[in-house]
Amino acid sequence: MNLVIIGASHAGISLAEHLKKNSFRGKITIIESANTIPVEKPPLSKKFLDNDFSEANIFLRKKEWFEVNEVDLLLNETALEIDKKRKDVILKSNQRIPYDYIVFATGAKPKMLPEVVLQNKNQLALRDFSDIKKIIKLIKSKKNITIIGAGYIGLELASSLRKNDFEVTIIEASDRILKRVASKELSEFFSRLHSENGVKIICNENLEKVIQKDNFFQIITTKRKFDTDLVLVGIGVKPEIDLAKKISIDCENGILVDEKYETSTKNIFAIGDCALNKTEYGVLIESIHHAQFSASRVSSYILGLQKPKYEEPWFWSDQFNIKLQSVGLYEQKSTTIYRAGKREGSHSWWSFIGDHLKCVEAVNDVQAFSIAKMIFEKKVSVSQKEIKNKELNLKELIK
């Protein structure tokens, strides 16, 4: 039995680990375009300026792990074709890897600004270790950094840079930061946090042009013109689905999968950021939790184990002295209720549609986050009225 995983990051490695832990007897080959052992992604934006930040400290698994577990990791190799007749994956080096199962764990790539705004070769976005290495090198002689896009990665970069005394400006085209993923209330909280810490956030402004000068960039938006030492682009990602499309697997803005995370082609699966599980989530989920959860579904299916039950997506972000933990998916038409946590500086926002709890965002409030996770897990019905009641001890909801 040959199982080929394309992509050695959070999803791909998690799958190999699940399979090995559960005594999978077949051969596992992981193909990875990058030429170094994969690293954890969250520290790239959160800790890249910390003294102890190094590649070796954040390896997803050490080299020995692959050897001990007899997982073949082929680095610096890209899966370019799939020969469905001969059941081979064909690599950049022309090597053919036979398969019984293929798992796409190809993730996502950063979106880039249109070439007319800034030439592609001058755009710096953050997705992997090679990107952060470039960024660390380039910021050394700089002071003033402009980040395009106020999603979580842009905000985490801003926080790390600001904590290290860089001057930071963020330009966001929407009328508020984190608009795609967070409640209005949480956006306001993070806007305030960044402003109080000296980050300049400009919303509702479209970037028209970035002109590269000798040693700096000139930024032109719909409303202003200013100079900056360096531009970082954080405008979201797009899933890596080209190879799946090439072999006629059904795709929309991700590779379509069912609840087993199997694609429209039998024995070919997709997990992590590239997989679109419309039945259960409806939208693409870009998170470590989803990478691991989807891997556990595929592993259980292949091993003939019981299907892991649905899990509500959860996510975290660290910015300045704040830890955000959120569970569920925010929907724009939600009603959001604020609760102060037990400890000073702890807050949570509970978003409902009618009496359906959709999402809980907790800031420095582990208790609210854990209880919210349990509410989703145990399918406890919770009303807006209960959450509005300041006297309510949240623990009572899950008794």
Ligand X SMILES: Cc1cc2nc3c(=O)[nH]c(=O)nc-3n(C[C@H](O)[C@H](O)[C@H](O)COP(=O)(O)OP(=O)(O)OC[C@H]3O[C@@H](n4cnc5c(N)ncnc54)[C@H](O)[C@@H]3O)c2cc1C
Residue ranges in contact with ligand X by CB under 6 A: 6-12, 31-34, 38, 41-42, 44-45, 78-79, 105-108, 126-127, 153, 240, 243, 272-273, 286-289, 291, 315-317
CB 226 within 8 A of CB 236: no
Which CB, 133 or 289, lies closer to ligand X? 289
Write the single-letter amino acid at 21.
K
Exposure b/e, 174-185, CB count within 10 A at least 16 = b: eebbbbebbbbe
Reported as type and span, the H/E element at residue 388 is: helix 384-388
Q: How far is the CB of 301 from ligand X (least distance, A)?
A: 18
Q: How far is the CB of 32 from ligand X (least distance, A)?
A: 5
Q: How far is the CB of 392 from ligand X (least distance, A)?
A: 29
Q: How far is the CB of 298 from ligand X (least distance, A)?
A: 12
- Mark residue 139 as left, alpha or beta (left: phi above 0; alpha: psi -120 to 50; beta: remaining): alpha
Which CB, 179 or 289, lies closer to ligand X? 289
Tokens 């990602």, residue located: 237
Q: How far is the CB of 44 from ligand X (least distance, A)?
A: 4
List the beta bridge partners of residue 326. Answer: 315, 361
From CA 237, how far away is CA 247, in angstroms rounded? Answer: 23
Q: How far is the CB of 184 from ligand X (least distance, A)?
A: 22
From CA 291, how far away is CA 106, in angstroms rounded? Answer: 11
Instruction: Give the 3-state secondary structure of residue 19.
Output: helix
Which CB, 54 or 381, lies closer to ligand X? 54
Which CB, 149 or 272, lies closer to ligand X? 272
From CA 199, how far away is CA 168, in angstroms rounded? Answer: 5
CB 150 within 8 A of CB 235: no
Let me know how long the chain is: 399
CB 274 within 8 A of CB 107: yes
Which CB, 249 or 394, lies closer to ligand X? 249
Q: How far is the CB of 320 from ligand X (least distance, A)?
A: 15
Pairing of strands 207-212, 237-239: unpaired
Q: How far is the CB of 112 from ligand X (least distance, A)?
A: 14
Which CB, 96 or 127, lies closer to ligand X? 127
Which CB, 241 or 394, lies closer to ligand X? 241
CB 4 within 8 A of CB 102: yes
Which CB, 44 or 202, lies closer to ligand X? 44
